[in-house]
Amino acid sequence: MSVKMRLARHGRKRYAFYHIVVANSRAPRDGRYIERIGSYNPNTNPATIDLDFDKAYDWLEKGAQPTDTVRAILSYKGVLYKKHLAGGVKKGALTQEEAERKLDAWMNEKEGKILAKKNMLSSQADKDRRKMLEAEAKVNEERAAALAAKASALAAEAAAAKAQPQEEAPAENAENVEEGGEA
């Protein structure tokens, strides 16, 4: 029986997330599996990967073959690097302490990169949000200025209209008086 580490699809249409499972290679993709060792959600930025590091390493040592995507995930999380260092320890190229120190240094560097990316994305989102708010405030100011100009123009027209009939009204009354006097 050949054992594979692969992804099992879950989630809704166009919004999939995956379980990382160890399964018989002849079992269906979303069917029966031996053990679930993690999850992978590509819908977030950066992708969310929850992996049981020790179980994944143990299955690799037992000979489970990862698929291409799972191999990339294991590489990203450092499981393959740990296996590589363990091979060096077995050959006598380095000691167990050196291997652990190298793995810890690599993990700290990787966590720093991930944290930097998250911070960069959140700061970029804040900048975009501020930029949108400034643009919206500018549009609102332009609308307020246009409404104020329109209101002042209407007020000026109303004042002119009130002033104009009052000036014409005495002349009309005088004409009406003259006409009334003749009749």
| 30 confidence band (pLDDT: 50, 70, 90) | confident
Query: Residue 106: exposed, middle, or buried by beta-carbon count in 10 A (0-12, 13-18, 19+)?
Result: middle
Domain ranges of the chain: 3-78, 95-164
Q: What is the pLDDT of residue 180?
A: 58
CATH class for the region spanning 3-78: alpha beta
Q: How much is the average pLDDT of 40-69?
A: 93
Residue 49 · residue 57 · CB < 8 Å = no
Asked whether the CA dihedral 90, 94, 96, 102 is positive or negative, the reply is negative
Could you read off the pLDDT of 120-177 as tens digits, one per residue?
988 888 888 899 999 999 999 999 999 988 888 888 888 888 887 655 555 555 555 5
Residue 53 · residue 74 · CB < 8 Å = no
Q: What is the DSSP letter of 28?
A: -
- Whats the size of the chain, residue-wise? 183
Could you read off the pLDDT of 84-133 as tens digits, one per residue?
999 999 998 899 999 999 999 999 999 999 899 889 988 888 888 899 99
